[in-house]
Chains A and B, each alone.
Chain A
């Protein structure tokens, strides 16, 4: 197989894996806050974390440029302190995938947490357990199906991310061309044989992953 195809495949898996790990850690925390806590601005926060689901990826990419570009609101300071800019690196692809996949984890994990009988949580407190202990021993295990579903959806979304990635990571061959970008490049330049190989490969890999995830989640039921 063409080495550029293998590179794109490896990069896509790497980006999706790192983004999914970040999504799981952050998403579970945010889902817990939204499901269990009352605080001012909660509705606003909910809308903010849902927006990436409905906004076009190019709009997400635009916001990320405004925030993390070399002259962006945060990017300028980061560049000033470290001399590093995330733009046009594989980290930018991770950031784009993270932002678009995060709402999927938050929605599914939050729904799972909200469906837990509140008396179970109260029982844990009356039995001497702290909020963190209750989170680890009661809430997490009882919402594991939602969390697994969220992880699978987030990984699939991260693997397929295109628009926002193109905006902030670019489409640099051998550097930031994840598989969806490489497929676009091949198809737009008329290299149909390479595009065919990548499309079939991408479909097989995504399908296999979903199959394994489904088997795993059924075993947990």
Chain B
């Protein structure tokens, strides 16, 4: 279970040039706004095409500019949770989740729906519409929808940014449980230092379209290479105060 990506992309004067390798883990791409984090997810998922590079998962090639291979997003089987969640407003919770079950046979769809509704604590909400459920419930529906098909990789683009602090904490714990349950490599994008520290198996630090550091959160946040923030000092303070 390894996703490898070597990507180069220039858009409107911004240049992204990165080399990533994500195993069966929860990798967090961390960096300031405009450093190319979300663009990386769009390139990996097939929503955007790199100028040059390769993207592969366990030997399956999603993109290879040299060989002219470019699998469309729908064929990559990559789960993607957008920052605004992108729940379909005209579909019920159940239909939103089932929308992600494309290609599964009827019996399997029914079983997966039953299981996933239970795992994501969505019982009783199946017939509600996105506008009728809470922020935390919407997050769980978006995750359930992205996972029902059994994706190769799950990409999360700042999924908790719209939640209040308490709910974020709950959802972070929930995400850890989800990873244990589904055993899927996850790449989560965030500019929230707490989120990066508390969730990541490995942190990939971005700055201006490049990877400047990769490592365990404890290593990354205690060195001086962090861009654009006073992280080491800040974390020392948080440690001494017993926040972690």
**Interface size range on A against B:** 10 to 19
Q: Does B78 contact A (CB under 8 A)?
A: yes
Give chain A residues whose Cβ lies under 8 Å from the Cβ of B102. 127-129
Q: With A and B bound together, what is the CA distance between A120 and B79 in angstroms?
A: 14
Q: With A and B bound together, what is the CA distance between A66 and B74 in angstroms?
A: 46
Give chain A residues whose Cβ lies under 8 Å from the Cβ of B84. 117, 119
Which residue of the partner chain B has the closest CB to A144? B90
Q: Does B149 contact A (CB under 8 A)?
A: yes
Q: With A and B bound together, what is the CA distance between A130 and B74 in angstroms?
A: 7
Within A3-22, the residues touching B (CB, 8 Å) are: none
Within A96-144, the residues touching B (CB, 8 Å) are: 117, 119-120, 122-130, 137-138, 141-142
Main secondary structure of the interface of A (DSSP, over half): helix
**Interface size range on B against A:** 20 to 34
Q: Are B73 and A125 in contact (CB under 8 A)?
A: yes
Q: With A and B bound together, what is the CA distance between A83 and B115 in angstroms?
A: 66
Q: Are B45 and A126 in contact (CB under 8 A)?
A: yes
Q: Are B47 and A124 in contact (CB under 8 A)?
A: no
Q: Does B77 contact A (CB under 8 A)?
A: yes
Which residue of the partner chain B has the closest CB to A119? B86
Q: Does B112 contact A (CB under 8 A)?
A: no
Q: Are A125 and B74 in contact (CB under 8 A)?
A: yes
Indicate with 1 or 0, residue by residue over A50-68, a CB within 8 angstroms of chain B CB atoms. 0000000000000000000
Instruction: Report the minimum CB–CB distance from B18 to chain A (whole Å).
Output: 20
Interface residues of A (CB under 8 A from B): 117, 119-120, 122-130, 137-138, 141-142
List 11 interface pairs A-B (beta carbons < 8 Å), by A numbering: A122-B47, A125-B47, A125-B72, A125-B73, A127-B102, A127-B146, A129-B99, A129-B102, A130-B74, A137-B99, A142-B89
